[in-house]
Amino acid sequence: MLRPRIIPCLLVQNGGLVKTVGFQNPKYVGDPINAVKIFNEKEVDELMVLDIDATNRHTGPNFDLIRKLAVECRMPFCYGGGVTTLDQAKKIINLGAEKVAISSAALLNTSLLSEIGLSIGKQSIAVVLDVRKKKKLFGDTLYEIYINNGNTKLNVNLIDFVNELNKIGIGELVLNSIDNDGEMKGYDFDLIDLVRKNTDFPLTVVGGAGSLSDFKDLFDRYRIMGAAAGSFFVFKGKFRAVLISYPTKEEILTLYKTI
């Protein structure tokens, strides 16, 4: 039976593992390969690795890191950061990643998604949308899409773009709340509701998880859903001491009782 996935989302900057709050002030938390080794032992469902500076610096994907991750990972993993061409996407898959995450390039050149889908399969494409609240208008929360690690706002309507993705076809949509990033206060259900009712794609959400109850709230509300998080898996306690962790099998079972 299908069940929700619990996914550590690792942010990489200059080859190191970092964590941000609101996409700002990245804090170094260790070596990504060492983190993967720990997650292997904990038998995580899936891993997402995002290079948060590759697009800004026009460096392209870090193929050396991807190769090392592929050798070490015992779980499916998705890699994103700096992907702008079909050849880059194909190389990432050939190195051993299951999925390629695309953000800025997907928004600036949707034809790239069709091109990649025809070559390596739509199921291998994960489109990442970094979204920030704008304001409330007559009780409705409005959202804006950002690229380049949250530094550039696009004049693109969120739902219009989701509808365009519906026509193109992708394997997964990753919805990332900039406002909730690193806050550890729960997911943005208004945002998830808005997107969920406009697409049937497999949906993974990230931004805000700080406790097991946050995962349970998500699963109780949406059932089959990818729950990604960063801080929850790398910090411990109110002082945010660095500690790589993952729920035990017993803890995970308690999250699925209502599914």
Please name which of 172, 229, 175 lies closest in space to residue 202, comparing C-alpha atoms.
Answer: 172
Q: How far is CA 208 from the centre of its chain?
A: 12
Q: What is the amino acid identity at position 120?
A: I
Residue 162 DSSP class: H
Interatomic CA distance for residues 45 and 41, integer angstroms:
12
Contact yes or no for 9/99 (Cβ under 8 A)? no
The answer to whether 220 is a known catalytic residue is no
Q: Which residue in the list 130, 181, 188, 214 is annotated as catalytic?
A: 130
Locate tokens 């170094």: which residue? 28
Interatomic CA distance for residues 95 and 97, integer angstroms:
6
Task: Locate all alpha helices (DSSP H) within the chain, ordered by sequence.
Answer: 32-41, 63-72, 86-95, 104-108, 111-120, 158-168, 189-196, 212-222, 231-234, 249-255
Residues with catalytic roles: 130
